[in-house]
Amino acid sequence: MRMIFVNLPVKDLVKSKEFFSALGFSYNPAFTNDDAACMIVEENIYVMLLTHGHFQQFIEGDIADTSKGKEVLTCLSAGSRAEVDDYLKKALAAGGKPWKPILDMGPMYGCSFQDLDGHVWEIMYMDMSSAG
């Protein structure tokens, strides 16, 4: 069984946890402390929110400045167009910022936003009955 851990540096771990909790995510307490929070996306998919000091221990060089460029686009699937819209509404209400306009390409529908640290998140729905 494979697992995926996306590691993201955050300036304020408490505020980041509150932001993602508002989107409906929970945390694994066994891997959450004052320096890191293990956000559960789904079984075998986790996002490690790491304070800058803790994140720096795992990298060479500088932490990317998200106000000047993007280091990654994290895209999560959604089960419906309504779920896409709900994620965007929750993210903006929790302090996130809009990034690009809604993407509506018929069977593919999605939104994007920036979290409190400027990381870009995309939520995409794909109507698989319309896929070739």
Decide: 115 and 67 in contact? Cβ < 8 Å: no
Q: How many residues in total does the chain contain?
A: 132
Write the pLDDT tens digit of every residue in 93-105.
Answer: 999 999 999 999 9
Write the pLDDT tens digit of every residue in 7-65.
Answer: 999 999 999 999 999 999 999 999 999 999 999 999 999 999 999 999 999 999 999 99
Model's pTM, two decimal places? 0.91
Can you name the residues that pair with 5 across neighbouring β-strands?
46
What contacts 74, CB < 8 A, 6 or more positions away? 6, 47, 119, 120, 121, 122
What contacts 11, CB < 8 A, 6 or more positions away? 52, 116, 117
